[in-house]
Amino acid sequence: MNMGSNLMETQVRIGKLAKAAGLTIKTIRYYETRGLLPVPPRTEGGYRLYSEADLHRVEFIKQAKALGLTLEQVRELAVASRERACAMTRSLLLKRLDERINQTAQQILTLKRLKRELEHRQEALARRPPTDHGRGYCGCLEDGKLVAPGLVKINLRTSARSGVRERR
């Protein structure tokens, strides 16, 4: 199996495949159970044996996932004929890129609103006279409207289920 610049034997065990692909053994097994990889032949001792074609398939899966395709979509592409697979891949990627462009546009709008809100709070805080009201700390900390709420409310995070950014 040719893994980068290292020329290796024709068939390798799961550990070498996982290492070459930059994945875990558990991930390789998961791809098998999901039908993304064919069931590999085994040695007399029961070890799975993988070929260079399996490495290429794993790399395809990684690339497709990185572009936002679901594992189900990747499985469909993996079992499609070569002619259909290319057209399907192109269609799925165009759709996914359109979704990502729209998500990014929404994130930009959210961040612009946050920036404006923070600038207004910065201006209000700069205009406020420093005073501790005899309590031993700056009075501006008492006015939650000046500092914290926007930083807590508009916090972008990645949803573990969809990979979509959402407001919190």
The 3-class secondary structure across 77-101, one letter per residue, is HHHCCHHHHHHHHHHHHHHHHHHHH
pLDDT of 142? 65
Count CB-CB contacts under 10 A for residue 15: 13
pLDDT of 55? 93
Phi-psi category of residue 21: left, alpha or beta, with phi > 0 → left and psi -120 to 50 → alpha: alpha
**Could you read off the pLDDT of 134-150 as tens digits, one per residue?**
777 776 666 666 555 44
CB 111 within 8 Å of CB 150: no
Over 70: is that where the pLDDT of 72 sits?
yes
**Could you read off the pLDDT of 75-125 as tens digits, one per residue?**
888 777 777 878 888 888 888 889 989 999 999 999 999 999 999 888 888
pLDDT of 128? 79
Spatial CA neighbour of 128 closest among 140, 144, 145: 140
pLDDT of 93? 84
H or E element in which residue 150 lies: helix 148-153
**Could you read off the pLDDT of 128-138 as tens digits, one per residue?**
777 766 777 77
